[in-house]
């Protein structure tokens, strides 16, 4: 088991780049830990630190966009229980990342309570690249959450 002073989790957004520019960016959240006891400990940590009435979630916000609310991708009890009891992190559905401007920077954070935001490494950043990309190409960015 990991010491509470070491990073407790590492999450990633695996961005799936689309061939069609009109499509929103899409991706999946992953945990860098392989299935096993570390994932279970992470699930317990999230469960312990989440407030009643406030599910842990990923928050996605486009910089400079004051008209749209940020996106919240919930880590519901089904996901947390799967982590604790089956030692695996899996979010079944891809995340559709909304943007009003493809050149805007986007921030992504892990939120455990109303007052905590842990930025995912590499964010905020522009999700669009002027470089040609291949379908299926992906980018991983990780978030470290440290126990207190």
The mean pLDDT of 26-43, rounded to a whole number, is 86
Range name among 4-8, 79-83, 137-141 with the lowest pLDDT average: 4-8
pLDDT of residue 87: 95
95: burial class by Cβ within 10 Å (0-12, 13-18, 19+)? buried
Token output for 92: 């079944």
Burial classification of residue 22, based on how many CB atoms lie within 10 Å of its CB (0-12 exposed, 13-18 middle, 19 or more buried) = exposed
Q: For the CA atoms of 107, 9, 31, 85, what is the dihedral angle to 10 degrees? A: -130
Q: Which of 105, 98, 112 is nearest to 69 (CA)?
A: 98
Tell me, what's the pLDDT at 20? 54
Q: Which secondary structure element, helix H or strand E, spans residue 3, and what is its range?
A: none
For 74-86, what is the mean pLDDT?
93
pLDDT value at 33 more than 90: no
The whole-model pTM stands at 0.75
With a cut of 80, say whether residue 143 has pLDDT above it: no
Q: How many CB atoms lie within 10 A of CB 29?
A: 21
* Mean model confidence pLDDT for the chain: 75
Predicted confidence at residue 17, as pLDDT, reads 58
Residue with the bigger pLDDT between 84 and 144: it is 84
Domains in the chain: boundaries:
7-146
Residue 78's pLDDT band (cuts 50, 70, 90)? very high
Looking at per-residue pLDDT, the higher value among 123 and 29 belongs to 29
- Dihedral sign from CA coordinates of 81, 118, 128, 101: positive
Per-range mean pLDDT, top range of 2-11, 15-24, 92-101: 92-101
Do residues 145 and 8 make contact, with C-beta atoms less than 8 angstroms apart? yes
What would the mean pLDDT of 49-57 be, rounded to a whole number? Answer: 80
Q: Quick check: helix, strand or coil at residue 78?
A: helix
46 pLDDT exceeds 80?
A: yes
């Amino acid at each position: 088991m990991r010491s509470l002073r070491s990073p407790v989790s590492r999450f990633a957004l695996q961005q799936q780049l689309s061939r069609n520019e009109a499509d929103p960016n899409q991706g999946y959240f992953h945990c860098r830990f392989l299935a096993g006891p570390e994932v279970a400990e992470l699930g317990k940590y999230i469960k312990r630190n989440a407030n009643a009435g406030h599910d842990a979630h990923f928050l996605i916000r486009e910089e400079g966009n004051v008209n749209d609310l940020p996106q919240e991708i919930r880590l519901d009890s089904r996901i947390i229980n799967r982590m604790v009891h089956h030692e695996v992190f899996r979010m079944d559905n891809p995340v559709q990342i909304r943007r009003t401007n493809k050149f805007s920077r986007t921030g992504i954070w892990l939120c455990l309570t109303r007052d905590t935001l842990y930025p995912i490494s590499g964010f905020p950043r522009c999700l669009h690249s002027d470089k040609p990309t291949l379908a299926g190409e992906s980018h991983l960015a990780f978030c470290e959450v440290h126990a207190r």
